[in-house]
A and B are shown apart, each in its own frame.
Chain A
Amino acid sequence: GAGVSQSPSNKVTEKGKDVELRCDPISGHTALYWYRQSLGQGLEFLIYFQGNSAPDKSGLPSDRFSAERTGGSVSTLTIQRTQQEDSAVYLCASSRVGTSLNEQFFGPGTRLTVL
């Protein structure tokens, strides 16, 4: 079946502009995660959605970042008034919940460049 998809694959924007990044998780996966990976660095947790529960937003670095998940499926990460330090690869992952295996399936990421 299809894996996690993300769009766009690349986004170049000017400082101060808003951007929207999209994630389509694997069908049937109730958990969805956003991570950020700067060049050569590890994965920084941003936000976690699980079913109808309130999202865990504890990783969002500032109030310029927000995310929503509609219908328990597609998610959009929005960055307002982008800054150069926002440049990174934004990775989305999804997983099943309720099984003993908690594997997260990652999408290919969106590479964001803020000029």
Chain B
Amino acid sequence: GQQVMQIPQYQHVQEGEDFTTYCNSSTTLSNIQWYKQRPGGHPVFLIQLVKSGEVKKQKRLTFQFGEAKKNSSLHITATQTTDVGTYFCAGPEGGTSYGKLTFGQGTILTVHP
């Protein structure tokens, strides 16, 4: 079945440093979604990328979808303590555009003030 891998598993940064997490799928995705889960909370949707090579920005966050639509990245510029949490990428299975998602294992981000 479809597998979605994320690296790194953990990332510790000093406040103000940049952070990047990478996501790779074993199959081509129709879209990829990113979620953030704060400690003790539930996943919250951040963004969806659909087009090959797409780049989207949300303030300090930059999301990219690879040309082959099998990989993606999330980059945070100048991290803040509010960025702490686990970042998951997820893609729908079987080439569909909706339905059940296969989640990566997540990258746990710790930001030291």
Partner of B42, one of A40, A95, A108: A108
Roughly how many angstroms separate A95 CA and B48 CA in the complex, as a whole number? 14
Contact B102 A95 (CB under 8 A): no
Which residues of B come within 8 Å of A, CB atoms? 31, 33, 41-45, 48, 50, 88, 90, 92, 97-106, 108
Chain B nearest CB from A71 CB (Å) reads 21
Contact A102 B42 (CB under 8 A): no
Q: Could you pull out 19 A-B pairs where Cβ atoms are within 8 angstroms?
A: A33-B100, A40-B108, A42-B104, A42-B106, A43-B90, A43-B101, A43-B103, A48-B100, A56-B99, A59-B100, A95-B98, A97-B98, A100-B50, A101-B48, A102-B48, A103-B33, A104-B101, A106-B44, A107-B42
Chain A nearest CB from B94 CB (Å) reads 10
Of residues A43, A95, A100, A103, which shows the largest number of chain B Cβ atoms within 10 Å of its Cβ?
A43
In the complex, whether A109 has a CB less than 8 A from a CB of chain B is yes
Other than the given A31-B99, A43-B43, 16 more pairs (CB < 8 A) read: A31-B98, A33-B101, A42-B88, A43-B88, A45-B103, A48-B100, A59-B100, A95-B98, A101-B48, A102-B33, A102-B92, A102-B97, A103-B45, A103-B48, A104-B45, A105-B45
Roughly how many angstroms separate A38 CA and B8 CA in the complex, as a whole number? 19
Chain A nearest CB from B14 CB (Å) reads 23
Nearest chain B residue, comparing its CB with the CB of A103: B45
Chain B nearest CB from A51 CB (Å) reads 12
Roughly how many angstroms separate A17 CA and B16 CA in the complex, as a whole number? 49
Contact A91 B98 (CB under 8 A): no
**A41-B105, A42-B88, A101-B48 as given contacts; A106 in contact with B43, CB under 8 Å:** yes
Roughly how many angstroms separate A93 CA and B99 CA in the complex, as a whole number? 11
Of residues B33, B88, B98, B99, which shows the largest number of chain A Cβ atoms within 10 Å of its Cβ?
B98
A residues in contact with B92, CB < 8 Å: 102
Roughly how many angstroms separate A31 CA and B100 CA in the complex, as a whole number? 9
- Per-position contact with B for A88-99: 1 when CB-CB < 8 Å, else 0? 000101010100
